[in-house]
Chains A and B, each alone.
Chain A
């Protein structure tokens, strides 16, 4: 029973002991590192196989359908069937393409999605690389995605791909700034960029201390992964696929896998930064609950992301960039400024957190009021133009 109580640590421990009975220490270490690396690299693939099924079921239910139900019980093997379909498709390279760059882009984008998992803590002390700059690393890895999007768009030798890449990068760069600012707020509150320290500091989940920051992070993270309602680069129901229009077969699959891997990764990062990661009741007595809580929180966030996809209409590009630059950036700047002032006040920590919460709520109310006013003004203007048009033509 004691073994099960901290199952993952004990399993790793006995595995290492078993290996070291017949292998030198360096080989044991090497094998362990390779196993950890393989598991983390497989995370985006696992995410794709599970999340595509979940997404179809969730969106199906939202749209009053039942979703996939033919392949296996409740259609759980639908993703495998799609994977086989993707594997046996023809690999087409456009004749004008810049071949090495064209082939490198899908590999790089997958690489970026897999690298994110290196700093995510699954449980107490269960993190592949406990970097002391972990949150900065997350943002830096995101910039590899930007580069591979540009590479894919440019090397395809296709005008639509190039325009798609432009729009995609404009979106990625714009939403990187509110994302950095929201993560900076958490870093400021904790005083560390190490993921483990951030989780341990959350006696109250930061989503309850910094609700506005949490919302800004979620919006910009959804935009960074290019999911609905920010999916106008792909807009699968209306236009062609944007920057990866020329890719087919498994190379298209890599972009698909990277998208779902990124979705799960940003959900896991949101759970770590704002929902207390592996923290929960009885974790200190039964550490095996840590990864379970972490997984539950992550899946809950993924569900919310899918819920948003199922119920929200798509933005126009000017609305989307406007939201980033005119709403999210000023709101998070004000928020960050208030937080910096509060943290320097000579009062107990709990009071600081209450003040931070007050500032957050004020920012939230202020932003929503201003947004509502501008929406009202816009709709009034539209009514005016609609009314004035017939008189002009007459």
Chain B
């Protein structure tokens, strides 16, 4: 049963991810990307990680996809559905994509992942929060500083020149 749900979710995620890169309309691509994010949220629920699933919907669908759609609508002729699928840089991009794929594959196969059959503890969210301000405080703070830098940069760009 769980296996079947997992297969359906994976097919939805991978299928819509494929549609993201093959769709001719950028807006449609963004919508397919949202469906792929939903599929990943479903996989999180299957793994009993409800918190991560909800955060996935909140951040990736609510914030990032909305920003992507905004960028699409503002940066080009939004009503023009038919765009070019390839431009002259496709070879370089394909090379880097394959490189990234190989690196990720090497990571996935080489790293020893901590696997356990135990059920998820009920205080998982509290433990996650504790881990953020405990052992992983430095990466957490670095990420926050990065976001602040991005925000200050945006403010400086958007500020009217005196």
Instruction: Identify B28's interface contact among A101, A142, A143, A147, CB under 8 A.
Output: A101
| Interface residue? A357 (CB, 8 A) | no
* Dominant secondary structure at the A interface: helix
Among the stretches B9-17, B50-58, B84-92, B134-142, the one at the interface with A is B50-58
CB-CB contacts below 8 Å: B46-88 with A: 50-51, 54-55, 57-58, 61-63, 65-66, 69-70, 73, 78-79, 81
The contact of A169 among B34, B70, B125, by CB within 8 Å, is: B70
Would A151 and B70 count as touching, CB distance under 8 A?
A: no
Residue of A with least CB distance to B70: A169
A272 on the B face (CB < 8 A): no
Q: A101-B28, A151-B31 are in contact. Are A143 and B57 (CB under 8 A)?
A: yes
Looking at A133-141, A216-224, A262-270, the stretch in contact with chain B turns out to be A133-141
B79: min CB distance to chain A, Å: 7
Flag if A136 contacts B73 (CB, 8 Å).
no
Is A173 touching B66 in the complex (CB atoms < 8 A)? Answer: yes
Indicate if A77 sits at the interface (CB-CB under 8 A). no
Say if the beta carbon of A79 comes within 8 Å of chain B: no
Q: A101-B28, A132-B50, A150-B69 are in contact. Are A144 and B61 (CB under 8 A)?
A: yes
Number of A residues contacting the other chain (C-beta, 8 Å)?
25
Which of A98, A137, A142, A162 is B81 in contact with, Cβ under 8 Å?
A98
User: Would you call B27 an interface residue if the criterion is a C-beta within 8 Å of the partner chain's C-beta atoms?
Assistant: yes
Of the candidates A136, A147, A193, the one whose C-beta lies within 8 Å of that of B58 is A136
Task: Please pick, from B58, B78, B81, B122, the residue contacting A140 in the complex, using a CB distance under 8 A.
Answer: B58
B155 CB to nearest A CB, Å: 12
Please give me the residue from chain A that is nearest to B52 by CB atom: A133
Which residues of B are found within 8 Å of A173, using beta-carbon distances?
A: 63, 66
Q: Which residue of B28, B62, B65, B81 has the most chain A CB atoms within 10 A of its CB atom?
A: B62
Can you list, as one digit per residue, whether each of A143-160 has a CB less than 8 Å from chain B (1) or not (0)? 110110011001001000
CB pair B73 A140 closer than 8 Å: no
**Set of chain B residues within 8 Å of A162, measured between Cβ atoms:** 73, 78-79
Compute how far the CA of A176 lies from the CA of B54 in the bound complex, rounded to whole angstroms: 15
Across-interface contacts of A150 in B (CB, < 8 A): 66, 69
* B54 close to A147 (CB less than 8 A): no
Chain A residues with Cβ under 8 A from B78's Cβ? 154, 162
Cβ contacts under 8 Å, B73 to chain A: 154, 162, 166
- CA A289 – CA B140 in complex, angstroms? 46
Asked whether A143 lies within 8 Å of B63 as measured between CB atoms, the reply is yes
Structural contact, B50 and A131, CB atoms closer than 8 A = yes
| Nearest A-chain residue to B58, judged by Cβ | A140
> Would you list which residues of chain A between 106 and 152 have a CB under 8 Å from chain B?
131-133, 136-137, 139-144, 146-147, 150-151
Nearest CB of A to B137, in Å = 17
For this complex, 23 residue pairs linking A to B, each with C-beta atoms less than 8 Å apart, are A101-B27, A101-B28, A131-B50, A132-B50, A133-B54, A136-B58, A137-B54, A140-B57, A140-B58, A143-B57, A143-B63, A146-B62, A147-B61, A147-B62, A150-B69, A154-B27, A157-B79, A162-B73, A162-B79, A166-B70, A169-B70, A173-B63, A176-B62
Give 17 A-B pairs besides A136-B58, A154-B78, A162-B78 with Cβ atoms closer than 8 angstroms.
A132-B51, A133-B50, A136-B51, A136-B54, A141-B57, A143-B66, A144-B61, A147-B61, A147-B62, A147-B66, A150-B66, A154-B27, A154-B69, A162-B73, A162-B79, A166-B73, A176-B62
